[in-house]
Structure 1
Amino acid sequence: MKTPNYIGGWKSIFYSLHVMREVGFGEFSKAIVSKNTCKTCAYGMGGQSGGMVNEAGTKLEICKKSMQAQLTDIQKPIPQTLWASESLDSLAEKSALELERLGRLNTPLYKKKGDTHYRPLSWAAAMEKLIDKFKACPPERSFFYSSGRSSNEAAFLLQLFARIYGTNNVNNCSYYCHQASGVGMKSTLGTGTATVQVHDIKQADLIFVIGANPASNHPRFVTELLHCRRRGGKVIVINPAKEPGLVRFVIPSDPRSMMSTGSAIASSYIQPKIGGDMALLYGIAKALIAQNQTNSEFISAFTDNFEAYSYFINGLSWDEITAQSGVDQSIIEDLAVQYANAENVVFSWAMGITHHRHGVENVEAIANLAMLGGQLGKRGAGLLPLRGHSNVQGIGSVGFTPTLKNQIFESIEKNLKVVLPQSLGWNTMECMQKAHEGEVDLAFVLGGNLYASNPNLNFAEKALDKIPFKVFLNSTLNSGHLKGVSQEALILPVLVRDEEKQKTTQESMFNFVRLSDGGIHRLDNCRSEVQIISELAAAVIATEHFDFRPFQQHRNIRQAIAQCIPGFGQMQKIDDTKEEFQIEGRSFHLPYFNTENGKAKFVVNPLPEQKKTDGSFRLMSVRSEGQFNSIVYEEKDSWRGTSHRKVILMNPTDMQNLDLQDGSPIAVKSAVGELQGFEAQAFDITAGCVMGFYPETNVLVGSELDPKSKTPSFKNTEVWIKKGI
């Protein structure tokens, strides 16, 4: 097991020097100090205060992920000669990293059914083809998908066009990540987003990090974890895998940390079984209730349904709890004592919680535990889902969802004087299933990599292949342009955030809206997403029905958002004042919640069934250290000690039982797929659990969904491993 002594620090600084050297100091510095929101995670950085400032005013807020995004954005265009020399098949053989580093897309590309190559197309020809396809397609046989990197303006405009066009088949990448967080928080608190602001993190004396690896995916959050430890607080990490960056981390912007071999992050590191989080959370609740260490005043005054919840928790046996969680009773009871003794507690989590068939119930269990301790509705405490893409929360806020909230639906109809469809829209997996059944003729994919984001990649490729026409808006080439595209496909090259010719806005995971100036010129043949969408909408929708031409101006879209989206009223004046803002009605610093009676609600769910065949393992898919979502920046994962991506990380004892050593070839099989040519590598992970990289291991993940959030179970797949040849 080859993991480093510490994470971050000089390694991150050396990487930043590598990026500067590769893209040029001038280009790099111009990008990172510009008044644009960070392009990677939703933790929040940049905007009108400058590229390295967060919403609390803290400076030097930059991380390796931010730099990696610049490395791929500040590339030269892909040479025009490549499209004739490289077939789809030859491009498909390249790794995700190789595709990303071919350069930027800088011309529309098209292939018709049966073509072996993409060919460049003029913008006029590309738009004519796109417009003709939409005019010919029945709206109910189309769907619209968005990644979380697009702007609020593009997302609002596209969902509006889709609905006026005649369909609610509008969905986004959150269905494959944090949809369970929104559903679980809605059922307990009446809100779907974080209840805290950045300032609250700085007041916490206990922070739970559950099913997340922020050292890799949200590095600037780790700075707050370190500060919590330094002011005498505690950090409890709950994760089947012991991630080195959550044990010790060197903060590059912190001189004291840089002078050490790593600052301690986790004060307690608990490694349950995969799928055992709910049992562990229930165990903490059981100990609190038994020890009479709950906040009875808060529960009585500000919650409902505690009696049913308490009765259920008391009815669970410790044997059930410890067997399913894999954690000893004494350890769980100690966690309860730490929780009871804390003054201000923040619960944070990521997809290790949501990527289960009981993901919503996991989130509800976290909310229940927060209610037990009265750690809601006050400053310095609350719930924080650690969201991924930099505007994934924003695109949902502005309506890029299959079902609009009633208030938004009514506001759009009233203020924009349109009639919206009332049919049920498809979630992301429904779009794939409908495509597989031959019920989709056209797909509009706004950013991201829909193919690689899917579970069960064999199914995903077949489903996408049945769609007669797909249009992709991207800045670089990815596997989604090469898999499942045997029929017609059109790729339109887009400007990235700091290149936009007009200002755009983004929303952080803390419900804070930033304004990005754009303005950097790099390529000469890319267009903004809004320009493409507005031109398409104006050509497809008759002017007397709705005039999309004014929405070529981003300012006009922001005015519509301010009118139609609750909490976004301040967007109406943001162009003039440049004042970024906290969305109204989402942060809970008083114990009154967005439920019918204003009270938080305890929700009771039975422990999930965890069936396991003898000899099988539970697989969770994860991002590597050199990766952001489906974008791969480095093949190796220096933090976990892997040199390539075709690896399965295993408990050392499990490896011994299978007569495996580091580097042993293995075959991995699930109910839906099989991987050959992979290697085993020892890692500190709970026995019976294994870990592999996304999206490579997605071929093993089934299409079964959490019935409440419609999110796939990426983090809980039964697999069988055998020694290869």
Structure 2
Amino acid sequence: MLRDADVSNHLREYMSRDVDPLTPIKERPLRQSSPKEVAAGIPAVISTLSHGFSRMGAIKSISNLTRVNSFGGFDCPGCAWPDPDDERTVFEFCENGAKAVADEATKARADPEFWSNWSVVELSRKSDRWLNSQGRLTHPMVLRPDSIHYEPISWDSAFGIIAEQLSELDNPDEAIFYTSGRTSNEAAFLWQLLARRLGTNNLPDCSNMCHESSGVALGDSIGIGKGTVKLEDFSKADLILVVGQNPGSNHPRMLSALKAAKVAGASVVSINPLFETGMRRFKHPQDPLEVIGQGTTIADMHVPVNVNGDLALFRGLSKSIISGSGIDYNFISKYTSGYDEYERAVADSSWDEIVSASGVARHDIEKLAAAMRASSSTIVCWAMGLTQHHNSVATIQEIANTLLLGGHIGRPGAGLCPVRGHSNVQGDRTVGINHKPSRGFLDSLRNTTGIESPFNHGYDSVNSVLAMLDGRAKVFLSMGGNFVSAMSDTDSTSRAIQSCDLSVQISTKPNRSHLVTGKTALILPCLGRTERDVTSEGYQFVSVENSMGVVHSSQGSSKPASKHLKSEPAIVAGMAVALDGKIGDSGVSWSKLSVDYDSIRNLIESAVPGFDSYNERVREPQGFYLPNPPRDYRCFNTDTGRANFRVHPITATSPDDGQFVMMTIRSHDQYNTTIYGLDDRYRGIKEARRVVMMCKEDMNRLGIKTGTLVDLTSHFEGDELTAHRWRVVEYDIPAGNIATYFPEANCLVPLNSVAEGSNTPTSKSVCVTVRTTEENMRFWNRTATQAA
């Protein structure tokens, strides 16, 4: 079956409004230069100041940037990289964190006049970057079934619409409660409580699209779906592997930790199809000597693995380690299960298979294995380069296996380090945003709140789309995020949302999910991280959990963008009060929870293990660590009571002849689906996002050059998706692999192509064919002529 992911005519029959679910194709002259050799430095400082001053103004820039990630300040709305436990600098942020702050604290406003001037149809013809640049939402707005313009609505009326729709559902599972990773612990806890009060576990979240594979893999292997290192471990490590991750753009403050590790004597290895600038050399912007000097070399070795060749690579590392002297037999005997079976599987894995699947020569694998054998403390970090493949769970468990061989769990300077993307995505899961909650959590929630939760599992992100398409779900409520653009298969996702009777977005700024909507749509504008939250009970703060399990407070100080904004907890509580009025009293004091966040934290303390004395400990400047049994005392809460070696066959993405393996990546000038600009500075690509990065060898084979327009078609189980007019750029990437930008290329990721075990979209493993646009036009013309 052929579906065209770009041409809107294929969607018209499903649309009640003639909106485009994709950012428009607008040709701009592509500018390309050589990739940068050094990350950060003066260019990062200039970019930070430019974004801050142009969007916030000088005074507000200084005020906000000196409070971000500071003790008593607000948590950066960007990534989840941790802050130092002890001393922090005056400027505890990175370039992209500063962009996120400036983006939220912008002076621009998308007020009712804006929505009156622009219909959703007209807005859908604008780019995602343009939509974001229109500024902060100021009023609750409603898009009625017979309209293409949003109009203002009172908060009470908005809550009334939601309550009426929810109360009239045939069953609670017809509602979906989606969560973005920027949501605070307090708001997330209330959000899941509202969903379960209604009677559903339909709580998909952004983790379903990114690190779900990490959680599933680690939960089974070591008994906790989180990493096992602290920030301080980086300076104690002998060896650090950075796998499938681009810290220079996506977690820039991580470069400071890698630099500190290098100064302390660690070796760092980059494992990635692309040798990203941040892994080459780093100039700390706050170190004058580095800024004017050469900076610090980060990676001592780069391993250009094939896209999805990581499982094979780590199997090769294990094979070399087992044949050498790098095994901690005492650790294996005392703390692990399944070693003998794993050892046999490794022995049965041939070097030919390992080299072919990984794309890495045996010599290079054994060179890295020698470094691992010599290391007494090894950390492996990864991000979505590992989590969005069919075999992602197996790959991450293979990494765990390799570290278990050397006893690198529960040891200073060692461990597993999945680096989460959004600032509280890990915390949201901790406090109950989980479509597959444990019976223990639900029992605890009932004992704490009186809410009787269903025990059946709910929908994750992919299954939510399928449920909406099938008519099994009719109301979609989103706590933050931009689901339409973030999800795979943009065509199917858009049709799914448009099939709903109601869609609700709790947001700070306009995005495409405000345009591709249900029959009725609501925009509920909320406070941002930078803004003060004052209720009848006084000045409130929220809390978040970073990527290493530290829970700390976040309190904004800026004047809200509008007097009509509400906090996320207040919005959830408002919905809940209205719903109680329709279906009966839940027994939860929603109104009190909306103004006194200490009372929310008291509920979390009672319902979620590890939050003892929550209100007292979260007020400590550095916050507190949640329990992490594998890290803290080598306790593994698995089915065996031990850390598990898990055995999987070597698999990789296997394209047919003439196909490429495509991975989607982010540029330096974006954060998730938010596009700040068109300057992927480190990769040397400017003024264009609809590009295909391809190696010179493949370009020569196809007879194309930089700037050639091509069409991409993805292939999965007989289904094809085509996206037109992408410009090829020559880039250093292993042959047979290409890279494109997210979210533009999400339209090519098949909805049913998911990771086994986690159901995560395989956005890093898409088999595609590449044809020149001119060639494709000739093909379609021939087909049309033959049909005629």
Q: What TM-score bracket applies, with the shorter chain setting the length?
A: over 0.9
1:497 counterpart residue number? 529
1:247 to partner: Cα distance: 1.3
1:334 to partner: Cα distance: 0.6
Candidates 772, 782, 786, aligned match of 1:723: 772
- Judged with a 3 Å threshold, the aligned counterparts in structure 2 of structure 1 residues 86 and 152 are, in CA distance, closer, same or farther, namely same
What amino acid is aligned across from residue 120 of structure 1 in structure 2?
P
Check whether the contact 2:243–2:383 (CA below 8 A) recurs between aligned residues: yes
Instruction: State how far apart, in whole Å, the 2-side matches of 1:255 and 1:300 are.
Output: 50
Secondary structure in 2 matching 1:506: strand
Q: 5 Å matches for 1:60-459?
A: 60-75=91-106, 76-137=108-169, 138-459=171-492
1:51 counterpart residue number? none
Judge which range, 582-591 or 651-660, deviates more.
Answer: 582-591
Secondary structure in 2 matching 1:420: coil
1:445 to partner: Cα distance: 0.4
Are positions 1:570 and 2:613 aligned together?
yes
1:462 to partner: Cα distance: 1.0
Check whether the contact 1:114–1:486 (CA below 8 A) recurs between aligned residues: no
TM-score (norm 2): 0.89
Are positions 1:640 and 2:683 aligned together?
yes
Secondary structure in 2 matching 1:272: coil
Q: C-alpha deviations, 1:574-602, integer Å up to 9, x for none?
A: 47666611112356143332235542110
Gap runs ≥5 in structure 1: 46-53
Check whether the contact 1:208–1:238 (CA below 8 A) recurs between aligned residues: yes
Are positions 1:656 and 2:700 aligned together?
yes
Instruction: State how far apart, in whole Å, the 1-side matches of 2:511 and 2:373 are.
Output: 48
Instruction: State how far apart, in whole Å, the 1-side matches of 2:696 and 2:260 are.
Output: 33
- Judged with a 3 Å threshold, the aligned counterparts in structure 2 of structure 1 residues 56 and 181 are, in CA distance, closer, same or farther, namely farther
Check whether the contact 2:174–2:474 (CA below 8 A) recurs between aligned residues: yes
1:463 counterpart residue number? 496
1:526 counterpart residue number? 565
Check whether the contact 2:392–2:756 (CA below 8 A) recurs between aligned residues: no
Check whether the contact 1:164–1:421 (CA below 8 A) recurs between aligned residues: no
**Residues paired across the two proteins, number:** 716
Q: How much identity, in percent, do the aligned residues show?
A: 31
Instruction: State how far apart, in whole Å, the 2-side matches of 1:660 and 1:575 are.
Output: 57
2:575 counterpart residue number? 536
Secondary structure in 1 matching 2:649: coil
Check whether the contact 1:570–1:581 (CA below 8 A) recurs between aligned residues: no
Q: C-alpha deviations, 1:405-427, integer Å up to 9, x for none?
A: 23322211122233211222111
What amino acid is aligned across from residue 195 of structure 1 in structure 2?
T
1:56 to partner: Cα distance: 4.4
Secondary structure in 1 matching 2:137: coil
Runs of 4+ in 1 over 3 A off after TM superposition: 544-547, 574-579
1:723 to partner: Cα distance: 2.1
Gap runs ≥5 in structure 2: 1-32, 68-72, 535-539, 775-788
2:40 counterpart residue number? 8
Are positions 1:599 and 2:647 aligned together?
no
Check whether the contact 2:755–2:761 (CA below 8 A) recurs between aligned residues: yes
- Judged with a 3 Å threshold, the aligned counterparts in structure 2 of structure 1 residues 189 and 575 are, in CA distance, closer, same or farther, namely closer
Candidates 570, 583, 593, aligned match of 1:551: 593
1:40 counterpart residue number? 78
What amino acid is aligned across from residue 518 of structure 1 in structure 2?
G
1:44 to partner: Cα distance: 2.4
Judge which range, 440-449 or 70-79, deviates more.
Answer: 70-79
Are positions 1:511 and 2:549 aligned together?
yes
Instruction: State how far apart, in whole Å, the 2-side matches of 1:69 and 1:256 are.
Output: 27
TM-score (norm 1): 0.96
1:674 counterpart residue number? 722
Secondary structure in 1 matching 2:216: helix
1:135 to partner: Cα distance: 2.3
Check whether the contact 1:56–1:198 (CA below 8 A) recurs between aligned residues: no
Instruction: State how far apart, in whole Å, the 2-side matches of 1:123 and 1:508 are.
Output: 32
Check whether the contact 1:378–1:590 (CA below 8 A) recurs between aligned residues: no
1:685 to partner: Cα distance: 0.6
1:676 to partner: Cα distance: 1.4
1:570 to partner: Cα distance: 3.0
Q: C-alpha deviations, 1:532-555, integer Å up to 9, x for none?
A: 111111221233644423211211
Secondary structure in 2 matching 1:284: helix
1:657 to partner: Cα distance: 1.4
- Judged with a 3 Å threshold, the aligned counterparts in structure 2 of structure 1 residues 687 and 468 are, in CA distance, closer, same or farther, namely same
Judge which range, 330-339 or 570-579, deviates more.
Answer: 570-579
Secondary structure in 2 matching 1:592: coil
